């Protein structure tokens, strides 16, 4: 749908966490396909996808099957969050106040902010390595700073520019990765390309979990990029364009990483394997991935800054954050991440993946509560004004039902966890497969629905909220 705002929307975004009024809505649902397709063709998903054959010792066929299953399942949750954006017109994290209360939501907002700062720092390390791979004379630390500055400029300009770049990136990166697949398959350098590794249930489940968790990791900010769409766009259109874009883009990247590793000698770093496996077009691939990681990393900076603004505004409720506020916080986060990334250890990305696995244990119950509350309880109808009140309005400072379900959702995952900090007894019994995310979803969803529907006070707030969905 084209509105007057579609062609008149300013390039530099003026909104932060506030409600986007109808006159500022613009864009089309197809923009979500290009955003999540182009954004997922990048070095970090390639490195993550390679773990199925590197760490979990699957062969190519079973690795691909596990990758597809994980993304197909996890993408459903991610796309359901995306479909909330046009209906609410506010960022995902501040919407959590409607489920947890104005203060109850702080923990989840803080965790999301930390995770996306970690994503940003990891990606600028990859950008630095990629730039050094393209131009040997550029040291990795200098490449890190250049990559961070590029992402920072995009993130500060904001929403519309991010979408524009990913519309271009979809065609360029899509063509590039297809070309890369074609070159690798016609220049395989190993005799065990199809036979290295084998099926093992723990490795297969672990790879499924990695792919599913990759999608779930987007949940705290995916609707930030659909909130400017007109409120009357069909929910199904928002869902399917997001789902197809994210599943296709991320699956291609995960599989590309696995293929590149299997096509080169055992023990190579994934991005070195990509460079070797793609031979004469390797430099071109590195340039494309460099541009991709700079563009996509702007999303991580943007999401981290919105989370920080949400945290600050919870206490400084009279503060009206502007584009200038977003720019200042972006520069602070960018500088801190550059400092950390330049001084980081050689295994920085490995440590980051470990951190994400730990953080996702506390994000999975949140995603279950958010989706059940939005689709099954409130059915998309919220009092937006209450979400921005210091006392939480009709949603209060705390929602005991959500917090109880959240705590139980974390607790039930513990026996199924497999993280660097702790390996649960059930995970250990099934050779290290981490099924905590699945257990967390299956327990938290019905529990929260039951708790919310048996609470009469909550039902009164719900009926009040259905009168509004307004500012």
Render pLDDT for 215-263 as a digit per residue (tens, 0 to 9).
998 888 888 889 989 988 999 999 999 999 999 999 999 999 999 999 9
Tell me what pLDDT residue 349 has.
Answer: 59
3-state class of 255 per DSSP?
helix
How does 143-180 read in b/e, with b if 16+ C-beta sit within 10 Å? bbbbbbebbbebbbbbbbbbbebbeebbeebbebbeeb
Q: How many CA atoms lie less than 13 Å away from 427 in the CB half-sphere?
A: 24
User: Would residue 74 count as lying in a domain?
Assistant: yes
- Mean per-residue pLDDT, 366-382: 92
DSSP tally for the chain: helices H, then strands E: 21, 0
Q: Which residue has the higher pLDDT, 443 or 271?
A: 443
Q: How many domains does the chain have?
A: 1
pLDDT band at 458 (very low <50, low <70, confident <90, very high): low
pLDDT band at residue 275, thresholds of 50, 70 and 90?
confident
The CA-atom distances, in angstroms, between 59 and each of 51, 71, 128, 203, 253 are: 11, 18, 31, 10, 17
Residue 206 is predicted with a pLDDT of: 85
Q: Which two tokens stand for residue 441?
A: 């979803």
CATH code of the domain containing 383: 1.10.4160.10
Residue 7 falls within a domain, yes or no? no
Q: What pLDDT score was predicted for residue 68?
A: 97
pLDDT digits (tens, 9 = 90+) for 160-189: 788 888 888 888 888 889 999 999 999 888
- Do residues 223 and 81 make contact, with C-beta atoms less than 8 angstroms apart? yes
Task: Report residue 424 CA to chain centroid gap.
Answer: 25
Q: Which of 225, 218, 227 is nearest to 90 (CA)?
A: 227
φ/ψ of residue 423, rounded to 5: -120, 120
* Phi (first) and psi of residue 213, to 5 degrees: -70, -30
For residue 384, being part of any structural domain is answered with yes
**More confident position, 12 or 24:** 24
d(CA 295, CA 249): 15
**Would 402 be classed as within a structural domain?**
yes
Look at residue 143 and tell me if it is in a domain. Answer: yes
Confidence class for position 272, pLDDT limits 50, 70, 90: confident
* Contact (Cβ atoms closer than 8 angstroms) between residue 86 and residue 233: yes
CB-CB contact of 317 with 152 (8 Å): no
Domain membership flag for residue 277: yes
- The pLDDT, as a whole number, for residue 5 is 47
pLDDT mean over 416-428: 82
Q: CA–CA separation, 28 vs 24, rounded Å?
A: 13
CA nearest to 376, candidates 467, 470, 447? 447
Enclosing domain of residue 156:
23-465
Residue 436 pLDDT > 50 = yes
Q: What is the pLDDT of residue 79?
A: 96
What pTM did the predictor assign?
0.87
**In-domain check, residue 147:** yes
Question: Residue 417's Cα: distance from chain center in Å?
Answer: 21
Tokens at 238, concatenated: 């928002």
Cβ–Cβ < 8 Å for 106, 267: no
**Band of pLDDT at residue 291, cut at 50, 70 and 90:** confident
What's the confidence (pLDDT) of residue 350? Answer: 62
Give percent of the chain with pLDDT exceeding 90: 30
- Reported as a pLDDT band with limits 50, 70 and 90, residue 69 is very high
Which residue, chain included where needed, has tokens 């649902």? 29
Lowest mean pLDDT among 112-116, 291-295, 348-352: 348-352
Span between the terminal Cα atoms of the chain, in Å: 23
- 405 and 451 in contact (C-beta within 8 Å)? yes
| 424 touches 417 (CB < 8 A) | yes
What is the secondary structure of 332-376 as a DSSP string? Answer: HHHHHHHHHHHT--TTHHHHHHHHHHHHHHHHHHHHHHHHIIIII
Q: Is residue 276 part of a domain?
A: yes
Q: pLDDT confidence of 74, banded at 50, 70, 90?
A: very high
Radius of gyration, alpha carbons of the chain: 22
* Local confidence band at 62 (pLDDT 50, 70, 90 cut-offs): very high
Distance, in Å, from the CA atom of 434 to the CA atom of 60, rounded to the nearest integer, reads 21
Q: How far apart are CA 105 and CA 129, in angstroms?
A: 37
d(CA 461, CA 373): 13
Residue 467's pLDDT band, with cuts at 50, 70 and 90, is very low
In this prediction, residue 158 carries a pLDDT of 76
């Amino acid at each position: 749908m084209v509105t007057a705002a579609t062609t008149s929307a300013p390039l530099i975004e003026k909104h932060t966490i506030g409600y986007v009024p109808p006159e500022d809505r613009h864009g089309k649902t197809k923009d979500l396909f290009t955003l999540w397709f182009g954004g997922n063709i990048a070095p970090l998903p390639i490195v993550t996808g390679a773990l199925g054959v590197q760490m979990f010792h699957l062969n190519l066929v079973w690795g691909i099957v596990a990758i597809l299953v994980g993304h197909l399942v996890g993408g459903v949750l991610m796309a359901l969050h995306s479909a909330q954006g046009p209906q609410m017109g506010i960022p995902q994290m501040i919407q959590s106040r409607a489920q947890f209360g104005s203060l109850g939501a702080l923990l989840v907002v803080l965790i999301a902010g930390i995770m996306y700062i970690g994503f940003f720092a990891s990606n600028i390390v990859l950008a630095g390595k990629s730039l050094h791979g393209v131009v040997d004379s550029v040291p990795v630390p200098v490449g890190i700073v250049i990559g961070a500055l590029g992402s920072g400029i995009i993130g500060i300009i904001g929403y519309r520019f991010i979408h524009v770049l990913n519309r271009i990136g979809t065609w360029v990166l899509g063509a590039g990765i297809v070309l890369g697949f074609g070159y690798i398959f016609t220049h395989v350098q190993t005799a065990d390309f199809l036979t290295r590794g084998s099926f093992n249930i723990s490795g297969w489940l672990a790879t499924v979990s990695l792919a599913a968790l990759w999608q779930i990791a987007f949940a705290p900010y995916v609707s930030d990029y659909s909130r400017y769409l007109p409120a009357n766009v069909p929910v199904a259109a928002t869902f399917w364009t997001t789902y197809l874009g994210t599943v296709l883009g991320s699956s291609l990247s995960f599989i590309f990483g696995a293929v590149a590793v299997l096509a080169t000698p055992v023990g190579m770093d994934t991005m070195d394997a990509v460079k070797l496996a793609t031979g004469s077009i390797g430099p071109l691939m590195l340039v494309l991935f460099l541009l991709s990681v700079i563009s996509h990393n702007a999303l991580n900076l943007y999401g981290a800054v919105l989370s920080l603004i949400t945290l600050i505004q919870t206490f400084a409720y009279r503060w009206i954050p502007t584009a200038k506020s977003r720019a200042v916080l972006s520069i602070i986060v960018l500088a801190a991440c550059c400092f950390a990334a330049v001084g980081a250890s050689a295994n920085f990305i490995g440590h980051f993946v470990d951190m994400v696995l730990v953080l996702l244990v506390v994000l999975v119950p949140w995603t279950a509560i958010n989706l059940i509350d939005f689709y099954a309880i409130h059915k998309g109808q919220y009092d937006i004004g209450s979400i921005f009140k210091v006392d939480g309005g009709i949603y209060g400072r705390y929602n005991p039902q959500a917090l109880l379900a959240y705590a139980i959702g974390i607790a039930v995952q513990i026996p199924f966890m497999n993280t660097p900090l702790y390996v649960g007894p059930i995970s250990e019994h099934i050779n290290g497969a981490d099924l905590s995310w699945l257990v967390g979803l299956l327990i938290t969803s019905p529990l929260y629905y039951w708790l919310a529907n048996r609470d009469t006070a909550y039902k009164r707030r719900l009926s009040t909220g259905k009168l509004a969905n307004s500012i």
